[in-house]
Structure 1
Amino acid sequence: IYMLFISADGNFCLQHKRKNNNPLDKALNTSNAYFVANNKYQEYLKFVSNKLDMSDFIDMNVSLMYIYIQNSICAKLKMVWQQEKSKFKDTVITGVVAIQCTCHGFYLPQGMVDLNKGEA
């Protein structure tokens, strides 16, 4: 019996900062090989966000987390909260997630996506 074991791993150091667009600046690799086609990915994100609006839930959780951290005596929690606010400032892409074969370490075709919401 053959079985495929896959895992997902994210890298939040691969960021793309907001910049002025240059009309002459062309992408060298537009959704070839490992990355999903951007237009299909954006359509999927719109479909998912219309179907499941998590913004109210996320805002509530962020507010509760902020209150908890401000009242906490743990300095590390406060540092992480401040890092979240500054780490992703002015970013268009906040990281990358890749799907790979756990046994062999090969990336699956069309198995990488850009993230745009931070680590949350």
Structure 2
Amino acid sequence: MSRQYDYLTRAKCAGRGHAGPRGLKDTEAGGLAVQCLACPDPGRNMPEGWKDAPPAEVYKHALMLALDANFRMKNCIRANELDDPSLGPGLGYFVFSDAYKEHLLKYVGKADASTCIAFQALLQQETKLTTGLRVSGVGGCVCARHGYVRPLGLGDLQKGERYANMDFIFMCAVDGSEVQRIVISYDIACQWQKRLRERVALI
């Protein structure tokens, strides 16, 4: 009951009751999420001609995001998962679960390549205690300036902070953004950014 009330309250705050004859059914992906009002968004808070800004002022129109994972948010395997469906999947902060799972199935047996010994040790530490867990943590993409979670900027992690998970979460979080430059803050960016274009092309 409380989850249903929370869901309807979010829909009300997003103005979905005045969204035409279909109302909530026409809500776009991430449409119930509260967005950061300060993040650059063409057509909402950016001046006309921002694309023609001189090189010295391009930084003003960059979208600054931060990626990271939280391994305290674990979830055990449950027998009643099918009896407890999510309300409005893909309309808030979490990515579409079906598309996310389909993407992750391509990387079940693949290991993340790394040239950093410290990174490999960290990855091993994060993935060794996943037995009996449905979710070993949560990966997220937030506004680096004000901490707002991006629409579709959260996703469950199954075996640590894998590239496949974080790539999908990042791409969902920036999908539809029209800015020309994105600045990323990420504690393992030195490894994650390698071959990022190749991995993103497969999403």
TM-score, with structure 2 as normaliser: 0.39
Structure 1 residues 4 and 39: CA distance shift in structure 2, 3 A: same
Q: Deviations over 1:40-90 (max 9, x none)?
A: 11122234x28xx534979xx9xxx7xxxxxxxxxxxxxx96x864x4220
Q: The residue matched to 2:141 in structure 1 has which SS?
A: strand
Indicate the residue corresponding to 2:74 in structure 1. Answer: 15
Task: Return the offset for 1:25.
Answer: 2.8
**How many residues are aligned here?**
96
Q: The residue matched to 2:63 in structure 1 has which SS?
A: coil
Indicate the residue corresponding to 1:54 in structure 2. Answer: 110
Q: Does 1:111 pair with 2:153? A: yes
* Paired residues for 1:1-120 under 5 Å: 1=58, 2-21=61-80, 23-47=82-106, 49=107, 54-55=110-111, 85=128, 87-119=129-161
Task: Return the offset for 1:27.
Answer: 2.8
Distance, in Å, in 1 between the alignment partners of 2:93 and 2:156 is: 11
Unaligned runs of at least 5 residues, structure 1: 66-79
Percent identical: 28
Contact 2:95 2:155 in 1 (8 A): yes
The amino acid across from 1:44 in the alignment is H
Please tell me the root mean square deviation across aligned C-alpha atoms, in Å.
Answer: 3.2
Task: Return the offset for 1:13.
Answer: 1.0
Q: The residue matched to 2:103 in structure 1 has which SS?
A: helix
Structure 1 runs, 4 residues or longer, greater than 6 Å off:
none
Contact 2:77 2:133 in 1 (8 A): yes
Distance, in Å, in 1 between the alignment partners of 2:63 and 2:137 is: 26
Distance, in Å, in 2 between the alignment partners of 1:22 and 1:42 is: 15
Distance, in Å, in 2 between the alignment partners of 1:103 and 1:55 is: 33
Distance, in Å, in 2 between the alignment partners of 1:97 and 1:22 is: 21
Contact 2:127 2:159 in 1 (8 A): no
